[in-house]
Amino acid sequence: MNAPVQLPAGNLSHKRPIYFSIRWKYALALLAALLWTLFSVSVASAWMHDLGKLTHPIFALWALTFIAFVPGFMNAFLATSLLLDRRPPRRLPESYPGVSLLIAAYNEETGIAATLESIAQLKYQGPVEALVINDGSTDRTGARVREAIARLTRAPNIEIRLLDFEHNRGKAAALNSGLAASRHGLICTIDGDSRLRSDSLREIVERYLSDPPGTMAVAGAVLVRNSRENLITRAQEWDYFHGIAAVKRMQSMYHGTLVAQGAFSLYRKDALEMVGRWPNTVGEDIVMTWAMLERGYRVGYAEDAIVFTDAPATFRQFYRQRKRWARGMVEALEQHKGLLFKRRLTTLFIWWNMLFLPLDLTFTFIFIPGLIAALLGYYWIAGPLTLLLLPLAVIWNAVIFFIQRRMFRNQGLRIRRNLLGLLFYVVIYALVMQPICLWGYLSELTGQRKKWGTK
């Protein structure tokens, strides 16, 4: 590991009207979530009573708990946390440490050259080595990398190398090969179809250097590049910009982002070695991140260090990606059960993940049929009282939007008009995604064969 970088002391006396510690913010968010849940239960008591008479009291309690009460609690906690969040500014170091970029590539001939072009244009003051690990690709990925290395003009501090493997071994094995060949104490992973902004590497390193002691990884912000391709990518633009970003920001606020995703994250090399490197699992990034959390390490989030990636453009690719993510969560729970009983603020979010299976099960087999029944005039499951969720949904969506818009403006970006994608994201997206996630959970629990990738 490189020697730690000394940060200038600077003037840290920022006057704020009211300051709340992280624990106080956590307590306030928890209180707001509990109050909202109590309000929801009181208002929905008549609905629960009528549904219980029509079906069974236990069914009614289960249905309303996972359709209204649990999601309401989560959204209230999220919105309150984001309203209380005051992220400290990144501080400039006296010098920038060396970084090894790992790009695990399998059949990436269409996008790998553009990925390497974005690396060649990085504005980073320290040494950078980019290692492309060609994991037995059956297309021209290797040839494209060689052509790019010969063609690209780059700063003297940026080096690009190809590690070419004849047989496909899986993403974890590819990343571990890159880790073994890396020369620097900081490791950054990106996908073979991603584009770094010129300042992204500098920004994620500055966030790592500015974060509290014990930070061993920092997740970057992944946004959709190909959002104009079709309706599926348009909807995913909102998911990445809105939902995924908000959850990561909230988790990092309490010192434990649950996924330092492989698409763009920074890690300390010695921390990766301490947790046994990337495991041979479907969700290698989430399982490895949870291994860090179980050791007591902190995992942060750099909301303004952005990489643009190609989201799945077909339903088949989308299905395989989200199924893989769901399987990864089950793998993480199976391998790191100790996190459920670890005393830290983010333990709450581990328990939330335990609830995703009954949430998606209820949504798929109770709420979706309830929506169909409502269209036919039967308001047993989805009815007027379902609108109780709308005020909170409007509030937390507005909070996320304005926070993200401010970050975009600070980065010189603007939010593109995407009303059709927003409509699909709000109305249809969950109806498609949650049954896929449910199938992913069941696939892992029943031991189905594992595959790498979405292609």
**How far from chain centre, in Å, is Cα 398?**
20
Determine the residue type at 322. Answer: R
Q: Which residues pair with 219 in a beta bridge?
A: 265, 301
Q: List Cα–Cα distances, 70 to 33, 73, 384, 436, in angstroms.
A: 10, 5, 19, 20
Each residue of 116-153: pLDDT tens digit?
999 999 999 999 999 999 999 999 999 999 999 999 98
Range(s) of the domain holding residue 334 = 99-339
Residue 363 belongs to some domain of the structure: no
Dist CA 215 CA 298 (whole Å):
4
We report the CATH number of the domain holding residue 187 as 3.90.550.10
pLDDT greater at residue 452 or residue 383: 383
Indicate the pLDDT class of residue 389, thresholds 50, 70 and 90: low
Residue 422 belongs to some domain of the structure: no
**How far from chain centre, in Å, is Cα 251?**
10
Instruction: Find, among 219, 351, 344, 353, the residue nearest to 294 by Cα.
Output: 344
Count how many domains the chain has. Answer: 1
Residue 139 has φ and ψ, to the nearest 5°, of -105, -155
Residue 79 belongs to some domain of the structure: no
Each residue of 150-174: pLDDT tens digit?
999 889 999 999 999 989 999 999 9
Residue 421 belongs to some domain of the structure: no
Residue 369 belongs to some domain of the structure: no
Each residue of 226-271: pLDDT tens digit?
999 999 999 999 999 988 999 999 999 998 899 999 999 999 999 9
Q: In 241-389, at which residue ranges do the beta strands (DSSP E only) sit?
A: 264-268, 298-309
Indicate the pLDDT class of residue 408, thresholds 50, 70 and 90: confident
Residue 253 belongs to some domain of the structure: yes
Query: What mean pLDDT do residues 426-433 have?
Result: 90
Q: Which residues of 425-442 are buried (b: 16+ CB within 10 A; e: fewer)?
A: beeebeeebbbbbbbbbb
Residue 162 belongs to some domain of the structure: yes
Residue 247 belongs to some domain of the structure: yes
Please say if the pLDDT value at position 222 is more than 90.
Answer: yes
Q: What is the pTM of this model?
A: 0.89
**How far from chain centre, in Å, is Cα 296?**
20
